[in-house]
Amino acid sequence: MIYSVRHTTTFRYEPAVRESLMEVRLQPRSDGEQRCLSFTLDVEPAANIMQYRDFMGNTVHHFDIAGRHSQVKVTAQSAVEVQSVPAPRPTNSGDWTDLDALVAGNDYWEMLLPSHFVQSSPELEQLARELNCERRDNPLALLTELNEAIYKLFAYVPNSTKVDSLIEEALRTRQGVCQDFAHIMIALVRRLNVPCRYVSGYMFHRDEDEHDRSLEGASHAWIEALVPGLGWVAFDPTNNLVGGDRHIRVALGRDYADVPPTRGVYKGEAQSELSVAVTVSPADTAPPEPVMPSFVVRSRPVLVRASARSEQEQQQQQ
């Protein structure tokens, strides 16, 4: 399947700011069963866009807008081919001994250690006990069970957490968004010495019969865990899906802190407003048109020194 993706992010400032410096991770990856066929990035006001690859091989574009401006609009347009892959079968996967041998023979330590949003806590250990999260059955069976358990135990509630919310908030309230569910599953899985990584990207919503909880018009997040015999397998606890036939991978990291879709700072004294609109459609249909923002985030009024910088960052999904 070839998908067409349009992702528009708009930052508005009141009053105008003097300078904006921003980096974005919006270009889909080309690896595994996925190929990015084309990608364009437009920035208003016009800016000189540069790019590099980070430590996980994600493409990062960055730019600096000098001079006073009251808005920055970033539009990414891409065409991505995603090959359909068979659902992972227990008969094709290995056991815990196979996993330990795989981990011992390769360098996965960054996906095993705690990270910024993935830390142990009393709330996490309580959930682990509740779910009987320990090495049993085989890795694929346990991961599939945890994926379904998070889907059933946690309510999907847009705007219930913020971009910098730790998993304890979602663990206490038993609600959150895809970013939270991904972090919770990573934390549970890594404590079993299973390499696990955060994936940012998009999901194609085929029809209402799929019963997807994640929102159309927004980016998405899920996880990939290393399964012996199968490699990296996608698990989406927001929608209780295993495998990524409808998922478009943009960036990989230890957690969200490594791969925000947009991250930047601006100079000035301003309130800011962030709006995001995403469309994903099959490439054989009409090209996706701009849609209304899926969410709008307004900053609280803040006063900063003229020399100070204020940070701005986009949550994976609200």
Q: Does residue 287 register a pLDDT over 80?
A: no
Residue 318 lies in a domain: no
- Residue numbers of the domain that contains 212: 88-258
Mean pLDDT of the chain: 90
Residue 286's pLDDT band (cuts 50, 70, 90): low
**Are both 96 and 197 inside the same structural domain?**
yes
Q: Does residue 294 register a pLDDT over 60?
A: no
**Are both 13 and 124 inside the same structural domain?**
no
pTM: 0.90
Domain-terminating residue out of 219, 236, 258: 258
Average pLDDT over residues 65-80: 97
**Are both 72 and 12 inside the same structural domain?**
yes
Q: What is the pLDDT of residue 87?
A: 86
**Are both 149 and 188 inside the same structural domain?**
yes
**Are both 288 and 209 inside the same structural domain?**
no
Domain-terminating residue out of 222, 237, 258: 258
**Are both 228 and 270 inside the same structural domain?**
no
**Are both 156 and 242 inside the same structural domain?**
yes
Q: What is the CATH number of the domain that holds 38?
A: 2.60.40.2250
Residue 71 lies in a domain: yes
Residue 179's pLDDT band (cuts 50, 70, 90): very high
Q: What is the CATH number of the domain that holds 185?
A: 3.10.620.30
Residue 316's pLDDT band (cuts 50, 70, 90): low
Matching residue, tokens 């009024």:
301
**Are both 158 and 287 inside the same structural domain?**
no
Residue 235 lies in a domain: yes
**Are both 240 and 276 inside the same structural domain?**
no
**Are both 254 and 264 inside the same structural domain?**
no
Q: What is the pLDDT of residue 288?
A: 53
Q: How many domains does the chain have?
A: 2
Q: Which runs of E-coded beta strand occur in the chain? A: 2-24, 34-44, 50-53, 59-82, 155-156, 175-176, 196-203, 220-227, 231-236, 241-242, 247-253, 262-267, 271-282, 295-298, 309-313
C-alpha span between 79 and 1 (Å, rounded): 10
Q: What is the pLDDT of residue 89?
A: 86
**Are both 47 and 183 inside the same structural domain?**
no
Residue 59 lies in a domain: yes
Domain-terminating residue out of 237, 258, 279: 258
Residue 129 lies in a domain: yes
**What residues does 71 pair with on adjacent strands?**
12
Percent residues over pLDDT 90 in the chain: 80
Sorted by sequence, the CB contacts under 8 Å of residue 147 that are 6+ apart come out as: 185, 235, 236, 237, 240, 241, 242
Residue 254 lies in a domain: yes
Q: Does residue 130 register a pLDDT over 70?
A: yes
Percent residues over pLDDT 70 in the chain: 88
**Are both 174 and 142 inside the same structural domain?**
yes
